[in-house]
Amino acid sequence: MTERQPFDRAADDVAPEDAAPPEARDETATDGAPEDDAATIEGLRAELEEARRQHLRAAADYQNLQRRSQQERAEYTRHAQVALVLNFLPVLDDLNRALDAVDSAADEGFVEGVRLVRQKFWGVLESMGVREVEALGKSFDPQVHEAVSYAPGPEGQVVQLVHAGFTMNDRVVRPAMVLVGNGEDAAGASN
């Protein structure tokens, strides 16, 4: 085996077309047949068309990504609002119970203050899209009502509200807990 000289390595690394002088390279490029030029142009056009298709696909993928990101952010916001409302509903329940428990001897100014606080609190919830589920006297709807028991009254109708239910932007946040009529006459049941 013979040892290679350092200058031999540099000569091996040069490509044959790079070894030709620039004038010779230019002449060989123009010496090709017209069919070769047409084929080269068609090849370049095909590459350009493929690059355009890839660009359009990439742009469409990017738009889809943006749309999905917006939807995910909106969904996250909705979930956060629902969680917030669920934490506030017990406070509203307590304010309602406090006002229901007021007796005639209570300080009227204090009671009116609590009513105003409850009204303002309810206004904030309403501005977030919260609505109370209508229940009493309505037909039982398992989508918005949760039956906890039966009671005398018209069959399938809500006869007593145990716990108020709420929706937020037409989605049930908390179903109304109700007693459903069992079809017995309320007057006959007390005998």
Total-model pTM: 0.60
Mean pLDDT estimate for the chain: 82
- Which CATH number fits the domain that encloses residue 173? 2.30.22.10
pLDDT class of 37 with cuts at 50, 70, 90: confident
**Start-to-end CA span in the chain (Å):** 120
Is residue 110 domain-resident?
no
Across 69-78, 113-122, 179-188, least confident range: 179-188
Which structural domain, as residue segments, surrounds residue 168?
131-191
Q: Are strands 158-163 and 176-181 parallel, antiparallel or unpaired?
A: antiparallel
Using the CB atoms, write b or e for 69-80: b if 16+ within 10 Å.
Answer: eeeeeeeeeeee
Residue type, 156: G
Residue 185 has a pLDDT of 76
Mean pLDDT of 77-106: 87
Q: How many domains does the chain have?
A: 1
Mean pLDDT of 35-60: 92
User: Residue 79 corresponds to which tokens in the numbers above?
Assistant: 């979930």
Is residue 175 domain-resident?
yes
Is residue 73 domain-resident?
no
